[in-house]
Structure 1
Amino acid sequence: MKKRVGFLSFGHWQAVPGSQARTGADALLQSIELAVAAEEIGIDGAYVRVHHFARQLAAPFPLLAAIGARTSRIEIGTGVIDMRYENPLYMAEEAAAADLIAGGRLQLGISRGSPEPAQRGYEAFGHVPPEGLTDADMARAHAELFRAAIAGAGIATSDPKMTGQEVPLPIQPQAPGLPERIWWGSGTRATAEWTARQGMNLMSSTLLTEDTGVPFDELQTEQIQRFRSTWAEAGWDREPRVSVSRSVIPLLDDRDRMYFGDRSGEDQVGFLDGGLARFGKSYVGEPDALAQELAQDQAVREADTLLLTVPNQLGVDYNARLLGALAEHVLPAIGWEPNR
């Protein structure tokens, strides 16, 4: 199994002391430059998180298209798009356009989304769950229509006055292969099984919205194993992909120690969306120690793709240096090789 590694940026921006991303323009333009630098290092993917009503990256497709136009090898993706907010058909057009610009490198992570600063913010975008359904139901319905559209389903009926006949019309453009590059962000073992039945790849982050008392990497490994078992039972004719996210910070000098301390944290258990959630630890330390720790992470071993969250407000140069250090000293320990 080829091990891939990408970076994941939330795109925070704020005019505070020490921030190199002080405006929305900074966050967007620096995301493009970091993707270019990451490709030169040999990193496999450039992924962005999508949030609404916050000083973070929000509208992903212009950014992904720009990254695709400036790069040639690196995968471009999201982790994740909140489908409660999306017009599925317009999103299908935008996704296809971004994928074509990038030459088929789009890896699109979608999900029900996570808590947002706005109460029912998706309603401000014009999306209200039908009576008797939840916002999660609406997100899955949006995802179903989006996936049908990018697969070429007839969405509207042609006007005979324009076409001479009534025929089903798909959205345009179409992006070959994109339907197999859709990932669902899953926070539980049950949702991972649902994802497998739908034929989507699995994206699992640094938190799970359930807790069984075992370490985070063990719980996430069980989630991945259940996903793969259900995938096999469903009889899909391709191998799925699985990603996990981690915060991994090598301490190279006093500046790193000032920002991040000198030791890794531990798993944390808290409440999210009204239930227990387990948050995975951060990996912080000397590169050699990090390599040993990361190699022992069961879920990192189980997944084919590792997404590394980056402190984007520290700027392009800092994060390129961070990724370069990880590429040289840490990532080979998990079986990764540069993509050049």
Structure 2
Amino acid sequence: MKRFGTLSFGHYGPLGGGHQLTARDSMLQAIDLAQGMDDLGANGIYFRVHHFARQQSSPMPLLAAIAAKTERIEMGTGVIDMRYENPLYLAEEAASVDLISDGRLALGVSRGSPETVLRGYEAFGYTGSEDPRGADIAREHFSTFLRAIEGEGVAERDAQSPFGAGTGLQRIEPHSPGLRSRVWWGAGNRDSAEWAGRTGVNLMSSTLLTEDRGLPFDVLQAEQIDAFRTAWREAGHEGEPRVSVSRSIFPLTTAEDEFYFGGRQDGEGVGYIDGMRSTFGKTYAAAPDVLVEQLKEDAAIASADTLMLTIPSQLGVEFNLRIVEAFATHVAPALGWESTRV
């Protein structure tokens, strides 16, 4: 494990006891958390993207604000639902954030996760899907997005325009030359992971796989990662792709940690989500020395280079920074991590 960061679902709304976390609170706390994590030397802060829900839905303004307030930390998404995106506008936004951050954007995209509404992307104007979950729309949008960030011309210049002479296809502006290498595909199964490898993008693998082959979750996920890397090599792509996995991991170091997460060492399981039989990862919650031994046995964590800790963002900045600091101090070094702090 070379890098670790946090993955936030960004929930807001009623907290109980008459308390309320607003959308504004959620975003401002995310910026504060990013600054604190940057100071601690964590490598990344990433956000789930969900539409029609009290969560982050338009991440680019938030990522730009984080970029302006931090120096080293990578910021990104896990994942943007490409069914909802205008791929050319997303290319403009992503390039802008990547330039503002000096190349610190890790843009995770995919077909998206199960929704709270039926075919919500159609309300955004993206119709005509022949797939019940809109995967064909997501792949088509992603293909256009990749061509745009690669600098391919997408619109013919108007030779009569007063705003510049010339002819030929024009690329999207701004253009960030390194952005293509920092795009990730969120894969929920082996086929999707292999497709990402052939396409030549990095891999994000979550705590849920839409597969059930009777194997432990971490082994199933490690096989997915191996298949991705094999597809990458066979496609002839240069360099080594990055691979991230996400886990719910809570070092128990205080009485408050014990109150919230003691006894929450949930086992992995099998169930149905989005109409597919799926395998779910487990929650790790234990004293730091116990966590180290448990995580060393996780085959997917051992195979990935980046670990994303899913965090309870509703509990606030101070609580989550304590989780990050405890992991950075007592657990991560034993897994091979080195701080970015100088």
Which TM class, normalised by the smaller chain length?
A: over 0.9
SS at match of 1:72: coil
User: In 2 relative to 1, CA 145–133 (structure 1 residues): closer, same or farther, beyond 3 Å?
Assistant: farther
Contact 2:207/2:247 (8 A) holds in 1: yes
| Separation of aligned partners in 2, 1:145 and 1:78 | 19
**Residue in 1 that maps onto 2:108:** 109
Amino acid at match of 1:42: G
Stretch deviating more after TM superposition (13-22 or 289-298) = 13-22
Contact 2:12/2:55 (8 A) holds in 1: yes
User: In 2 relative to 1, CA 142–135 (structure 1 residues): closer, same or farther, beyond 3 Å?
Assistant: same
Q: Residues 245-304 of structure 1, C-alpha deviation per residue, up to 9 Å, x if partnerless?
A: 001011122222221233511101100122210000000111111111111111001000
User: In 2 relative to 1, CA 90–21 (structure 1 residues): closer, same or farther, beyond 3 Å?
Assistant: farther
Q: Residues 17-37 of structure 1, C-alpha deviation per residue, up to 9 Å, x if partnerless?
A: 279871000110101110110
User: In 2 relative to 1, CA 189–213 (structure 1 residues): closer, same or farther, beyond 3 Å?
Assistant: same
Contact 1:201/1:242 (8 A) holds in 2: yes
| Separation of aligned partners in 1, 2:167 and 2:117 | 43
Stretch deviating more after TM superposition (15-24 or 298-307) = 15-24
**Residue in 2 that maps onto 1:297:** 298
List aligned pairs for 1:236-275, cutoff 5 A.
236-275=237-276
1:17 aligns with 2:8: no
**Residue in 2 that maps onto 1:143:** 142
Stretch deviating more after TM superposition (203-212 or 158-167) = 158-167
Q: Structure 2: 5+ residue runs without aligned partners?
A: none
Contact 1:21/1:315 (8 A) holds in 2: no
| Separation of aligned partners in 2, 1:207 and 1:19 | 33
Contact 1:196/1:228 (8 A) holds in 2: yes
| Separation of aligned partners in 2, 1:158 and 1:47 | 37
Stretch deviating more after TM superposition (209-218 or 12-21) = 12-21
Superposition RMSD in Å: 1.5
**Residue in 2 that maps onto 1:334:** 335
User: In 2 relative to 1, CA 188–119 (structure 1 residues): closer, same or farther, beyond 3 Å?
Assistant: same
1:196 aligns with 2:197: yes
Q: Residues 121-158 of structure 1, C-alpha deviation per residue, up to 9 Å, x if partnerless?
A: 10111111356896101100100101111110101001
Amino acid at match of 2:217: F
User: Structure 1 length as normaliser, TM-score?
Assistant: 0.97
| Separation of aligned partners in 1, 2:131 and 2:23 | 38
Q: Residues 216-259 of structure 1, C-alpha deviation per residue, up to 9 Å, x if partnerless?
A: 00000000011111111111012100000001011122222221
Contact 2:88/2:145 (8 A) holds in 1: yes
Q: Residues 83-121 of structure 1, C-alpha deviation per residue, up to 9 Å, x if partnerless?
A: 000000111110011111101110100000011111111
- Runs (4 or more) in structure 1 with deviation over 4 Å come to 18-21, 130-134
**Residue in 2 that maps onto 1:225:** 226
List aligned pairs for 1:17-96, cutoff 5 A.
17=16, 22-96=21-95
SS at match of 2:115: coil
**Residue in 2 that maps onto 1:129:** 128
User: In 2 relative to 1, CA 194–164 (structure 1 residues): closer, same or farther, beyond 3 Å?
Assistant: same
| Separation of aligned partners in 1, 2:94 and 2:275 | 33
Contact 1:19/1:313 (8 A) holds in 2: no
| Separation of aligned partners in 2, 1:299 and 1:133 | 30
| Separation of aligned partners in 2, 1:307 and 1:32 | 17
User: In 2 relative to 1, CA 20–90 (structure 1 residues): closer, same or farther, beyond 3 Å?
Assistant: farther
| Separation of aligned partners in 2, 1:236 and 1:261 | 45
Identical counterparts, % of pairs: 55
User: Structure 2 length as normaliser, TM-score?
Assistant: 0.96
User: In 2 relative to 1, CA 146–21 (structure 1 residues): closer, same or farther, beyond 3 Å?
Assistant: farther
| Separation of aligned partners in 1, 2:119 and 2:132 | 14
| Separation of aligned partners in 2, 1:216 and 1:20 | 37
| Separation of aligned partners in 1, 2:6 and 2:70 | 15
Contact 2:130/2:136 (8 A) holds in 1: no
Q: CA deviation at 1:337?
A: 1.1
**Residue in 2 that maps onto 1:6:** 5
User: In 2 relative to 1, CA 219–133 (structure 1 residues): closer, same or farther, beyond 3 Å?
Assistant: closer
Contact 1:152/1:170 (8 A) holds in 2: yes
SS at match of 2:50: coil
Q: CA deviation at 1:310?
A: 0.6
Q: Residues 35-66 of structure 1, C-alpha deviation per residue, up to 9 Å, x if partnerless?
A: 11011111000111100010111101000000
Q: Structure 1: 5+ residue runs without aligned partners?
A: none
User: In 2 relative to 1, CA 164–204 (structure 1 residues): closer, same or farther, beyond 3 Å?
Assistant: same
**Residue in 1 that maps onto 2:153:** 154
| Separation of aligned partners in 1, 2:115 and 2:72 | 33
SS at match of 1:247: strand
Contact 1:19/1:314 (8 A) holds in 2: no
**Residue in 1 that maps onto 2:97:** 98
**Residue in 2 that maps onto 1:174:** 175
